[in-house]
Structure 1
Amino acid sequence: MKNRVVITGMGVVAPNGVGLEEFETAIRNGQSGIEFYQELADLNFSCQIGGKPKISSEKLKNYFTDLQLRGLNSSGIIYGVIAGTDAWADAGLSKADEEAPDWDSGIIFGTGILGVDKFREAIHLIDAGKTRRLGSTSVIQTMASGISAYLGGILGCGNQVTTNSSACTTGTEALLMGFERIQAGKAKRMLVGSCSDHGPYVWGGFDAMRILPGNYNDTPQEAPGPLSALAAGFIPGSGAGALLLEDYASAKERGARIYAEVMGGEVNSGGQRGGGSMTAANSQAVQRCIKGAIENSGISANEIDAINGHLTGTSRDPVEIENWILGLDRKKENFPYINSLKGLMGHCLSASGSIECVASVLQLYKNFIFGNVNCEKLHPEISTLIASEKIPRKTIEIPLNIIAKASFGFGDVNGIVIFKKITE
């Protein structure tokens, strides 16, 4: 028998909301976190808009000691620590005491690139012959596993503590890795999630690829969202999301509030073959991932009420819809409701999967589907594939039982997880 896995805590740091309450209000009301940044204009970026979470210096002191804040210059670590510790507290858990770690709890917290600003600072100091001024935290702020190491020390986790990295699929992959560890009986609880740094040194490469929109710098909150006929590229974002996964028996024993059950999922790769590339998904692999997630979850395709898609606002949006149709064998009026968070906060890169998993579970738990913003005029290819009402423009209140969350990342890697309303 495999252990059932449920979600008992969540935390989020997003461009349009920090903390579950603020974030839920934002996605329900279509509040955007996308803004113009003068720094990007000064650096001659084509796309001068993006999404950054707003965190005050006072709020930081609730999560870091004065010593930890000294020299801390990694936005990804800041976002990840806030989201992760919030998820831990939301689950009603206490930090391990000072004498021994919590052997039953672990962490899988991913990132794409971490500590870019700290790297830049370090390069200048080293080139100037001032290595001793780097500080004692420069290594932990720039190593990929810095985020899981920070959280592991703060919470005192004694089970597996590690970091994964799979581009835009990172957060969804981390969740499935934690799910499998609990399912196999190797841990009772796993804090899973992902984070991403912000700023020009992270976003510059995408601007150079010309896949970011450059014609909405004066009207950032009017930039066309995913699924729109006018969408001209994704908007960069940053932040972190975290979910506390727990063995169902453990959660019931301690009387924990349960948001949803993780039924299963699938990860795979298209091998950058058959139309797949470094930047585009192999459609056959995506369809296999959809079918595998359904099979592994023990459900039927017709039971899925809603999809939170990867959908970035590029030319790949219609392809993703077609892959869902073929993977589910459902189209037009029979297609599930579908939405994308990226119109409200941008594409948060390695943090996107985890933030969007939090949004998916909130929808399931609270019985609503948030609206797709700035896509009043649907992409013509999409409008021929599925019924317009399956792409809500405003939030709708509706009973939900099963929701699928998808992430497709650079390198032709895919991840899909299936969440279900908890049943005894």
Structure 2
Amino acid sequence: MGNRVVVTGMGVVSPNGIGIPAFLHAIQNGISGIKFMPHYHELKFSCQVAGMPDFKWDSLTNYISEVTLHGLKGTNIAYGLMAALDAWKDSGMDYDTDEPRWETGCVFGNSIADTEAMRNVINRVDNKEVKKLGSRVVEQAMNSGVTSYISGRLGFGNKVLTNSAACATGTQAILMGYEYIKHGYAKRMLVGSAEHVDTYVFGAFDSMRVLSRKFNDSPEKASRPMSATAGGFIPGSGAGALVLEDLDFALARGAKIYAEVLGGSTNSGGQRLGGTMTAASSAGVLRCINESLVSSNINPNQIDLISGHLTATNADRQEIQYWCDALDRRGDNFPTTNSLKSMIGHSLSAAGSIETVASILQIVHSFVHPNINLDDPNPEITKLVSVDSLPVKMIKKEVNIVAKANFGFGDVNSCLILSKFN
């Protein structure tokens, strides 16, 4: 069986709210964080809107020293650091420690080092100004920068690592932390992921023609998962973080408990049987969901809510089909389903962790957040499931079990089963 694993702290940096109170208010009220980006208009990008957190660098002085802040240039590191330290504080723990916290580790993911910071490196090297780079540039360049900053600030002495699995990164990081605690390798893990979709990453996706380009004049309507007028995803940025603990360890210190992680799975479809670098293999997705159910010891009819990947692309219809097949539930029997991306866009590596925070808030506060912009559901989707299972307004509902899944480039899948704590 292994140890039971519970969530005792959460933090979030999202396009529609920084911090749990602001984020909760936004998702309950269907508030979009997607805005017009004048710079992308100047660069003649086809998509000119994005989900960017209203982030102020000076606010980090509440978390780290001014000396540390002065050398910190990576925006994705900053997002991750803020979300992680908020989650740690929310769990009731102090920041400072004289000795390493041997019982606590960290798994925190991201996609790539901050390319805007790296552009400065490239320019200085090309201009033969390498001596002007400074002594801290490597911290911004290494992919493990985010976990290094987090673990260094909090003194973690257990397993500390950075994972990267495209859009599956966030849920995979949470699952890895869960497994370390379940099998007794750690008592506590700080987990999550961060992403800053800067100009260069945004431009790369824009060139693929996978971004929405018809709503530049109405940015809040641009992200349209499961909609007939969905024209591609909207890039988002931010970070989500959770503190996971062994149940007995958490109870012994009197920690508040948000929810329990019952189990999960991460796998790859191997880019076979229809799977490619950019498209999921149906066999891999179905296996991932089914293994999650088995590891959690639940049956499909117990799922109250699906927090889908659902990016507002052609894959939405296929994903709903996968859920129908994996759960053997369809029509009026299909679980209530929502996509946070309708409000914040697709934050790539950070998507799973931010969406997991949203999933747990829905468990705790007994509601289902709306799918905004779903005023014209895709008829190929409503052939499979009842339109009533895709709420367009917040509904009050007892949410006991959530299935949270993400699927990433490289044919990588991850799925978590989250539960109200009993």
TM range (shorter): over 0.9
Corresponding position: 1:170 with 2:172 = no
The answer as to 2:40 corresponding to 1:40 is yes
**Which residue identity lines up with residue 7 of structure 1 in the other structure?**
V
Residue in 1 aligned with 2:290?
A: 291
> For residue 44 of structure 2, what is the amino acid of its counterpart?
N
CA distance in 1, matches of 2:142, 2:343: 30
Q: Which stretch has the larger CA shift, 13-22 or 214-223?
A: 214-223
The aligned counterpart of 2:95 is: 95
The Cα offsets for residues 95-124 of structure 1, whole Å up to 9 and x where unpaired, read as 3523x2000000000000122111001111
Percentage of pairs with the same residue: 51
User: Partners of 1:324 and 1:254 in 2: how far apart?
Assistant: 39
Q: Where do residues 360-399 of structure 1 align in structure 2 (5 Å cutoff)?
A: 360-399=359-398
Aligned residue number for residue 420 of structure 1: 419
Q: Secondary structure at the match of 1:373?
A: coil
TM-score of the aligned structures, taking structure 2 as reference length: 0.99
Assess if the C-alpha contact under 8 Å between 1:368 and 1:400 holds in 2: yes
1:133 and 1:54 map into 2 onto residues whose CA distance is: 31
Q: Hey, what does 1:81 align to over in structure 2?
A: 81
Matched residue, 2:343: 344
* 1:69 paired residue number: 69
Q: Which runs of structure 2 are paired with 1:19-168 in the superposition (5 Å)?
A: 19-98=19-98, 100-168=99-167
Q: Which letter does structure 2 place at the counterpart of 1:145?
A: S
CA distance in 1, matches of 2:60, 2:223: 33
**Number of paired residues?**
422
- What does 1:185-204 align with in structure 2 at a 5 Å threshold? 185-204=184-203
User: What TM-score do the two structures reach when normalised by structure 1?
Assistant: 0.98
CA deviations 1:266-302 (Å, max 9, x no partner) are 1111111111111111112111111110001011111
d(CA) in 2 for partners of 1:56 and 1:274?
Answer: 46
Partners of 2:236 and 2:311 lie apart in 1 by 11
Q: How far apart are 1:198 and its partner, in Å? A: 2.6
Give the CA deviation at 1:307: 0.4
Query: Per-residue displacement from partner, 1:179-214 (whole Å, max 9, x unpaired)?
Result: 000001110000000001132112111101000011
Q: Secondary structure at 1:182's aligned position in 2?
A: helix
The offset of 1:376, in angstroms, is 0.8
Corresponding residue for residue 408 of structure 2: 409
Note the C-alpha offset of 1:60: 2.2
Asked if structure 1 preserves the Cα contact closer than 8 Å seen for 2:212 and 2:223, the reply is: no
What RMSD in Å do the two structures reach over aligned CA positions? 1.0
Deviates more, 1:101-110 or 1:35-44: 35-44
Alpha-carbon distance in structure 1 between the residues aligned to 2:158 and 2:95: 14
- 1:399 and 1:349 map into 2 onto residues whose CA distance is 29
| Aligned residue identity for 2:201 | V
Counterpart position of 1:226: 225
Please name the residue that 2:268 is paired with: 269
SS in 2 for 1:226: coil
Equivalent position amino acid for 2:301 in 1: N
Tell me the CA shift for residue 125 of structure 1. 1.0
Provide the rounded CA distance (Å) in 2 between the counterparts of 1:177 and 1:57: 30
1:13: which partner in 2? Answer: 13
Equivalent residues in 2 for 1:182-331, closer than 5 Å: 182-331=181-330
Structure 1, unmatched stretches of 5+, are none
2: CA distance, partners of 1:334 / 1:88: 39
Unpaired runs of 5+ residues, structure 2, are: none
> In 2, Cα distance between the equivalents of 1:133 and 1:115?
19
Give me the whole-angstrom Cα distance separating, in 1, the residues matched to 2:32 and 2:222: 10
Partner Cα separation in structure 1 for residue 96 and residue 176 of structure 2: 23
Aligned to 1:2: 2
Q: Deviations over 1:234-263 (max 9, x none)?
A: 000111000000000011111111000000
Q: In the TM superposition, what whole-angstrom CA distance separates every residue of 1:376-396 from its partner, at most 9, and x where no partner exists?
A: 110010111111110000110
Residues 198 and 224 from structure 1, CA distance in 2 versus in 1: closer, same or farther, beyond 3 angstroms?
A: closer
**Rounded Cα–Cα distance in structure 2 between residues aligned with 1:189 and 1:332:** 41
Contact 1:71 1:135 in 2 (8 A): no
Give 1:332's aligned residue. 331
Report the Cα distance in structure 2 between the residues aligned to 1:74 and 1:58, rounded to whole angstroms. Answer: 14
Partners in 2 of 1:329 and 1:57 — Cα distance? Answer: 48
Counterparts of 1:182 and 1:159, CA distance in 2: 11
State the partner residue of 1:354.
353
- Spell out, residue by residue over 1:151-176, the C-alpha distance to the aligned partner (whole angstroms, 9 max, x if none): 01000000011100000000100000
* Paired amino acid for 1:264: G
Q: Deviations over 1:54-83 (max 9, x none)?
A: 122442221232112224221100100000
What is the DSSP-based 3-state SS (H/G/I as helix, E as strand, rest coil) of the residue aligned with 1:385? coil
